[in-house]
Amino acid sequence: MIIPRSHPRYLSLKTREQLVKGNRSGLVVPEGLIAHGRGEAFDYILGEKTGRSAKSAITAAAALLLTARRPVISVNGNTAALVPRELVELARAVGGDVEVNLFHRGRDREMRIAKTLMRSGASRILGVGKEASGRIPGLESMRRKVDPSGITKADVVLVPLEDGDRATALRRMGKKVIAVDLNPLSRTARAANVTIVDNVTRALPLLNREVRRLKRHNRSRLDGIVSGFNNEKNLVTAVKEITSYLDKWNGV
Q: Is 45 helix (H, G, I), strand (E, B) or coil?
A: coil
Task: Characterize the bridge pairing of strands 176-180 and 194-196.
Answer: parallel
User: Least CB distance from residue 198 to a second copy, whole Å?
Assistant: 15
The C-alpha angle with vertex 30 and arms to 2 and 35, in degrees rounded to 5, equals 85
Q: Is 11 in the site for a second copy (CB under 8 A)?
A: no
Residue 20 touching a second copy (CB under 8 A)? yes
Please, which residue, 36 or 175, has the CB nearer to a second copy?
Answer: 36
Q: Does 239 bind a second copy (CB under 8 A)?
A: yes
- Which SS3 state, helix, strand or coil, does residue 156 take? strand
> Of 1 and 137, which has the nearer Cβ to a second copy?
1
User: Mask 174-203, x = binds a second copy (CB under 8 A)?
Assistant: ---------x-x------------------
CB 33 to a second copy: min, Å: 4
Residue 162 found at the interface with a second copy (CB under 8 A): no
Whether 193 contacts 178, CB under 8 Å: yes
> Per rule CB under 8 A, is residue 92 in the interface with a second copy?
no
Q: How far is the CB of 35 from a second copy (least distance, A)?
A: 6
Distance in Å, CB of 186 to a second copy, minimum? 9
Q: Starting at the edge strand that comes first in sequence, how are the strands of the sheet with 194-196 ordered?
A: 125-126, 97-100, 71-75, 156-160, 176-180, 194-196
Closest contact distance (angstroms) between CB of 10 and a second copy is: 15
Question: Per-residue contact track with a second copy, 40 to 59, x per CB under 8 A?
Answer: xxx-xx--------------
Question: Please, are residues 54 and 204 in contact by the beta-carbon 8 Å criterion?
Answer: no
Q: Quote the CA–CA distance of 82 and 64 in Å, as a whole number.
A: 23
How far is it, in rounded angstroms, from Cα 148 to Cα 56? 32
Asked whether the beta carbons of 121 and 89 are under 8 A apart, the reply is yes
Which span (105-113, 119-127, 152-160, 243-251) binds a second copy, by CB under 8 A?
243-251
Nearer to a second copy, 35 or 156 (CB): 35
Does residue 118 touch a second copy according to CB under 8 A?
no
Q: What residue spans of the chain are helical by DSSP H?
A: 10-24, 30-44, 52-66, 77-82, 84-93, 107-119, 164-172, 187-191, 200-214, 219-227, 231-249
Under rule CB under 8 A, residue 219 binds a second copy: no
Looking at 7, 31, 121, 221, which residue binds a second copy (CB under 8 A)?
Answer: 31
Q: How far is CA 225 from the centre of its chain?
A: 20
Q: Which residues bind a second copy (CB under 8 A)?
A: 1, 16, 19-20, 23-24, 30-31, 33-42, 44-45, 141, 183, 185, 236, 239-240, 242-243, 246-247, 249-251
